Chain A
Amino acid sequence: MTTADQTIKLARKDFVSDQEVRWCPGCGDYSILAQTQKLMPELNIPRENIVFISGIGCNSRLPYYMNTYGFHSIHGRAPTLATGLKAARPELSVWVITGDGDGLSIGGNHLLHIMRRNVDVVIVLFNNRIYGLTKGQYSPTSELGKVTKTSPIGSIDYPVDVCSFALGAGATFVARTLDIDTHHLVTTLERASQHRGTSFVEVLQNCNVYNDGAYKEFADKAVRPDRMIEVEHGKPLIFGKERNKGFRLNGTTAEILDFDNGASVDDALVHDEALEDPTIASILARMDYPELPVAMGVLRAFERPTYDSMMEDQIQEAIKKEGPGDLETILNAGDTWVVE
């Protein structure tokens, strides 16, 4: 094994473990793994200080393929291990790998709470809108009416919108990206890693075996410019192959602007990711094809003190106030008496 040396810049290969990758050929997970490995050397974090924690599902095998510290835990609970680890060891860079079933079904509660607490971790949620590992049952993000093995005449569950959920839970960084848009993917992950606080990234990911073409209606390269809109901080929301369409809010209603038919670029909403109020970010998060283009990119990036730092601050404050704890003193506290 190699020892991380700050003076030698690590490369992508240094983050590739000796374990054989076992996802189905063609799976979107390969791309997410590759971009994650590619990003790691850029973070300038010693490799031994990086930990990947996952739950259960195809996605959750990822830690085995990363040559970092890793923990493949149990279904839905990765956020809880990550919180405990980060709280105990704030200096570590902690990554949570989860999926639509792991994070939003069996582990929905923990996902809610890690985000509301603003624990300083990166959460990457692979959303393929299906249960892959158990061979094709509908998930909490599957569309209404979806026909699967367990919903032979169509699912009667309304799906949850992943980024709205994250925003509702108070996540301070919320972004959406796409497995096959590798540049966007790696840039988004990089932004997430730079944010202090919970960084939540939804990756739209194809399952070519059980839900092939999950996003092709709007994510295929040919139609993407017209059906997806990339949001960028400080820039007007413009989309279309010809960059001839824009987006604005009329009250809380989203409206499409057609620049070829009288609308002006100046009318387009300028994206402000740093707003404390998540209302506009939530509207963006819920835009869906075919009515509206699907928003991609950083929907929200707003900083406030993190759970782990506040926990550490309270400890330091107590030590400053009371002095470092002394076991003998505390054992002998309260009403005592001596028997001669």
Chain B
Amino acid sequence: MAEESGDVRELDRVTIRFAGDSGDGSQLAGQQFTNTAAIFGNDVSTVPDYPAEIRAPAGSLPGVSSFQVSFSSHEIYTAGDNPDVLVAMNPAALKTNLPDVPKGSLIIINADEFTEANFRKADYEADPREDGTLAGFRLIQVPITSMNARALKESGLPQRQIDRSKNLFALGVMFWLYERSLEPTLNWIDGKFAKNPQVAEANKTTLKAGFYFGETAELFSEHYRVPKANPRPGKYRNITGNEATALGFLAASQLLKKPLFYASYPITPASDILGELAKYKSFGVKTMQTEDELAAIGAAIGASFGGALGLTGTSGPGLALKSEAIGLAVMTELPVVIANVQRSGPSTGMPSKTEQGDLLQAMFGRNGESPLAIVAPATPAECFEMAIEAFRIATKFMVPTIFLSDGLLGSGSEPWRIPAIEDLPKMDVQHPTDPETFEPYQRDETTLARPWAVPGTPGLEHRIGGLEKSDITGNVRYDAENHERMTRLRAEKVERIADDIPELKIDGEPSGELLVLGWGSTYGAIITAVYRAQADGLSVSAAHLRYLNPFPRNLGDVLSQFERVLIPEMNLGQLLLLIRARYLVDAEGLNRVTGRPMKTADVAAKIETLVRRKVSVA
């Protein structure tokens, strides 16, 4: 994997984890490293891990925040199971992250923070540098705090402000170690601190000081080069899932030529979507920060009734609060979209940690028979196209649609090949205007969608609501036969969406010994493990569901072509339950609920136990 060339070693993939106090700026350092690597041409994938507390006590174990970036000379699908390099800004960061770091890895610590007081805060009984804790690791000690302070002695900034720049000193060291240009970060600093040139200058000074320190100090015997990856030609930007989600909804509004109305109550990890969409006012996007989750879905439904693209976003507990109103959208058949960025549950759970625990809530979490459409992106960048899909389906079928993301997708990032406008899907929406032919619940023959008649249209005045509707007229009606017909019509309408979505694609042979079936953010871990197994000659294929209700038409056929089916999920087996119930397939689960991403190694190990033999390769 490594090729010696003097003091520069070439590597094909490196995973770095920046860790420190949540106020230490590890997220920022990681993001800047990511952008620089991406602009250079590496494939990158990131995952942040931060505490739910904004500022836990300095130096304490719960206060540790980290950002992991993996960059590579080939295509990668995850931010890596384990870091090759850990940058630990204090003893607590070392202690919480060390279990993930394999022996032999490089650990760079901020030596200034390795003090008796900080050992106590990190529950270290002795200095971990001296008691054997770090035996087998390559430890590099850099006095980051004091070097930064020295670099900025002349800056005229107060000490507090100077200390806040130390992450940039550390970043400078990492840029030297991995032969990266400082330009992107220098430009970013100029833009970010345009109104405060003194701070901008200080940040640039310490970034450079870190870089030169790496060059001149004899701490590092070598440095490393990760060549460019060879991605598909095109224009790229690095994007988080939540950013891509917001842009996807914006694009849907532009493509459908309908104003977007987003109502949301702040909730981790979905709040960024509201922040992003609030910037798009010049597109006519209206955003509303509501008093609670119930109001957010209510306002979205009201806007949808008015002919806008009604949208709300939340995370698990918020989805629970919205349940009743989503049922109203099912009954009134309005095209409202609900984005759920899942987090660890139940209840408040672990707000900043990821999970896939809301699939069954999305499917069934309402009273009565209340089917709706569910789509789920598999990667951060894919949030863009699946957000467009959510509104395409919602408006075409007049059905509430849940967009099921998760914390890992929302905050994780990867390079996104920016689509050309002409390559975006063509979408259209019609509102009835003819009073002679209008009936509120007269359905389209193909889609079973009811007409989307909006207030302001003369002669189409009508009333809708949560009470059972009479077929065709939409008037209130309680008789047995009508209720059964309407219940079945609502279900049939959702089923017919399957005629309008792509078939499930298989990565690998269309039949064989094992199919690894997944959905959502486990994609990276699954596909990496499956490709490795395939390279080892195992009879394993992968398939990833982007449409969870209804399932693609060919799912049953796909499942039947494999001897065994493995479903890895970050829950206790929710897709597994649906697949077993629907297709009577004896599928098996690989279930992890750690609040952290699914690990490639876990999927790979499970595959090993399920596949009996190697396929003879000609």
Contacts and interface: CB of A to CB of B under 8 A. Distances in A.
Which of B283, B324, B456, B465 has the most chain A CB atoms inside 10 A of its CB?
A: B465
A51 B454 CA distance: 10
B288 A87 contact: yes
B476 A64 contact: yes
B325 A71 contact: no
B284 interface: yes
A319 interface: yes
Interface string B319-357: 000001101100010000000000000000000000000
A73 interface: yes
Nearest to A17: B463
Interface stretch (A41-49, A185-193, A201-209): A41-49
A88 B306 contact: yes
Interface in A233-255: none
Interface size class of A (residues with CB under 8 A): 35 or more
Given A80-B294, A88-B307, A53 B302 contact: yes
Nearest to B243: A334
B234 interface: yes
B402 interface: no
Interface string B260-288: 01010000000000000000111111101
A110 B294 contact: yes
A4 B455 CA distance: 13
Contacts of B237: 332-337
Interface residues of B, number: 72
Contact of B283 (A112, A325, A335): A325
Contact of A89 (B292, B421, B455): B455
A4 B435 CA distance: 11
Interface stretch (B16-24, B33-41, B45-53, B159-167): B33-41
Given A83-B299, A335-B237, A74 B456 contact: no
A85 B302 contact: yes
B238 interface: yes
Contacts of B263: 84
Interface in A297-340: 311, 314-315, 317-319, 321-325, 327-328, 330-340
A224 interface: no
Contacts of B35: 335
Contact of A325 (B282, B298, B421, B460): B282
Contact of B463 (A71, A110, A324): A71
A137 B487 CA distance: 32
B461 A48 contact: yes
Which of A50, A83, A324, A339 has the most chain B CB atoms inside 10 A of its CB?
A: A339
A246 B306 CA distance: 48
Contact of B435 (A3, A109, A317): A3
Interface of A: 1-4, 17, 19, 46-51, 53-54, 63-64, 66-74, 76-77, 79-89, 91-92, 109-110, 112-113, 311, 314-315, 317-319, 321-325, 327-328, 330-340
Interface of B: 35, 38-39, 41, 184, 188, 231-238, 247, 250-251, 254, 259, 261, 263, 280-286, 288, 290-292, 294-308, 310, 324-325, 327-328, 332, 418-419, 421, 435, 455-467, 475-476
11 contacts: A70-B462, A79-B298, A82-B302, A84-B288, A92-B456, A314-B281, A324-B283, A325-B280, A327-B421, A337-B236, A338-B236
